[in-house]
Amino acid sequence: MTAASSSLRDRRVTTHIGLALGLCVAVCFVTGILSHWIQHPPDWFWWPSRPVWLYRVTQGAHVITGVMAIPLLLAKLVVVYPKLFERPVIGSPARLLERLSIAVLVAATIFQLVTGLFNTAHWYPWTFFFTTTHHAMAYVVVGSIVVHVAVKLPIIRDALDAGRRRGGEQDERGPVHPGAVREEGDADDGATPDHERRLVSRRTVVRSAWAAAGVAAVVTAGQTVTPLRRLAVLAPRSGDGPQGLPVNRTADQAGIVEAATDPAYRLRIVGPGIERVLTHAELAALPQHTVALPIACVEGWSAEATWTGVRLSDLVALVDRSGANGARMVSLERGAYAVSDVPGGHVRDPKTLIALAVNGQRLDLDHGYPCRLIAPNLPGVMQTKWLARIEVS
């Protein structure tokens, strides 16, 4: 390999891209683990029902930083590409370990970004495998990043220090400042037209990556931030569903059309040793409340709507006067989305409704008719549609 491949400028570029990538991965990791804990809470975990928009923000950030990481990772790979083929391939045990950690890092990161992206596109060639693997692999990515950063720390520090020493003179195109940035073995003598061409194209790659990451951020944010919605070209479900709200699985796909429209439909509220059974008309005759709450899907899209229905706490009080620790929503549907456990704090929150209407109209069949849960600050996947039963614990 020529000395040019590790010129200081290259190392600065690699370091900066690496830092941006690391930041995206860090945000992605923290928000992802959070989302996982909300859906599968460990004993010590507590998640508030307010502010109502919190999950919308954390999960939006998860998907935005995940999408931004894709061009950054590609640029990082292009910039370090020649090094991947450096000889010796194996070398010393330390070098072997370093290369192995990079291989694991790259593979695991690509896996995360690809499976995450497929998931936002609602394409699960792997269904159950997805959440568990995406979750487990997150630790692999973060672990291998820690090893990678530890190994590269001297290079990273040098590159950042050199950048600082250059001060305001920031134009990568400008003449290299002699004593300040050039090091022995640096590739000034390599500034042949060939070398220059390579640098230019590398610069193009890096700039394109920054631009692509910016565009990715904006179009992904469009799924959540209403003024940007028209830009949400990457958002599979930003288009309008019935009643101005996206649908991720229709009544037809869930196979509940018959059960949901059956006049014999009843909502069962099951408490300790007691059960109350309500028709749709009886539900509609209970005190109705209207709240504005977003649905924030784990896939990153979210949408605000105005919901009308019965307070969950009022229904729980029909079977349990002591105040619930939690309530389990059970859908008419079977399978992955059939059940969701609502924590006690959310059950007691007056904004948590069993909704019968959205945006001023009776719930569309696709939005959960006859009734569905809508709770503040919970992932969309927990907002169970087509409720059959509420179990109070």
Ligand X SMILES: Nc1nc2c(c(=O)[nH]1)N[C@H]1C(S)=C(S)[C@@H](COP(=O)(O)O)O[C@H]1N2
Instruction: Pull the structure tokens for residue 333.
Output: 């549907």
Q: What is the dihedral of CA 151, 195, 160, 30, to 10 degrees?
A: -60
Closest distance to ligand X from the beta carbon of 325 (Å): 22
**Which residue number is nearest to Mo ion in terms of Cβ?**
297
Residue 112 touching ligand X (CB under 6 A): no
Q: Residue 60 burial (CB < 10 Å; 0-12/13-18/19+)?
A: buried
Establish if 375 lies at the interface with Mo ion (CB under 5 A). no
**Is 295 an interacting residue with respect to ligand X (CB under 6 A)?**
yes
Place of tokens 């995406």: 134
Which stretch, 95-103, 127-135, 147-155, 384-392, contacts ligand X (CB under 6 A)? Answer: 384-392
Near ligand X in 317-356, by CB under 6 A = 331, 333, 337
Helix or strand run (H / E) with residue 181? helix 178-181
The closest residue (CB) to ligand X is: 380
Residues 143-202 that bind ligand X (CB under 6 A): none
Q: How many residues bind ligand X (CB under 6 A)?
A: 19
Q: Give the residue, chosen from 62, 198, 351, 385, that forms a contact with ligand X under the rule CB under 6 A.
A: 385
Q: Which is nearer to ligand X, 59 or 65 (CB)?
A: 59
Give which of Mo ion, ligand X, none residue 383 binds (C-beta under 5 to 8 Å, depending on kind): ligand X
Question: How far is the C-alpha of 268 from the C-alpha of 265, rounded, in Å?
Answer: 10
In the complex, minimum distance from the CB of residue 188 to ligand X, in angstroms, rounded to a whole number: 56
d(CA 367, CA 249): 9
Strand partners, 326: 343
Q: Which of 142, 138, 141, 13 is nearest to 78 (CA)?
A: 13
Distance CA 33, CA 298 (A): 12
Q: Which of 120, 248, 352, 377 binds ligand X (CB under 6 A)?
A: 248
As given in the structure block, the two tokens for residue 364 are 């569309």
Q: Which amino acid is at 23?
A: L
Looking at beta carbons only, is 201 or 253 nearer to Mo ion? Answer: 253
Q: Taking a C-beta distance cutoff of 8 angstroms, is the pair 307, 356 a contact?
A: no
- Residue 385's binding partner out of ligand X, Mo ion, none, with CB under 5 to 8 Å set by partner kind: ligand X
**3-state secondary structure at position 58:** helix
Position 235 contacts Mo ion (CB under 5 A): no
**Minimum CB distance to ligand X, residue 352 (Å):** 15
Output the six-digit token pair for 163.
């950048």
Chosen residue from 297, 312, 353, 375 binding Mo ion by CB under 5 A: 297
Q: Which is nearer to ligand X, 18 or 222 (CB)?
A: 222
245 binds ligand X (CB under 6 A): yes
**Stretch in the footprint of ligand X (CB under 6 A) among 47-55, 105-113, 189-197, 248-256:** 248-256
Q: State the Cα–Cα distance between residues 66 and 116, nearest whole angstrom.
A: 8
Shortest gap between Cβ of 275 and ligand X (angstroms)? 21
Shortest distance, position 387 Cβ to ligand X, whole Å = 8
- Quote the CA–CA distance of 6 and 311 in Å, as a whole number: 63
Contacts of 310 (CB under 8 A, 6+ apart): 283, 286, 287, 288, 289, 353, 354, 356
Contact in structure between 71 and 209 (CB atoms under 8 Å): yes
Window of 12-20, 146-154, 240-248, 307-315 that interacts with ligand X by CB under 6 A: 240-248
Q: List, in order, residues 6 or more apart from 106 with CB less than 8 Å away.
A: 77
Q: Considering the complex, what minimum distance in angstroms separates the CB of residue 135 from Mo ion?
A: 16
3-state secondary structure (DSSP) of residue 9: helix
- Kindly indicate which of the ranges 1-9, 73-81, 124-132, 381-389 contains the residues binding ligand X, using the contact rule CB under 6 A: 381-389
Q: Of 305, 312, 378, 381, which lies in the binding site for Mo ion, with binding defined by CB under 5 A?
A: 381
From the CB of residue 328, how many other CB atoms can be counted at a distance below 10 Å?
15
The residue among 297 and 392 lying less far from Mo ion, judged by its C-beta, is 297
Q: Which of 13, 116, 383, 390 binds ligand X (CB under 6 A)?
A: 383
Amino acid 155 reads: I
Stretch that binds ligand X, among 23-31, 122-130, 247-255, 257-265 (CB under 6 A): 247-255
* Contact residues: ligand X, CB under 6 A: 245-249, 254, 295, 297, 331, 333, 337, 367-368, 380-381, 383-386
* Contact residues: Mo ion, CB under 5 A: 297, 380-381
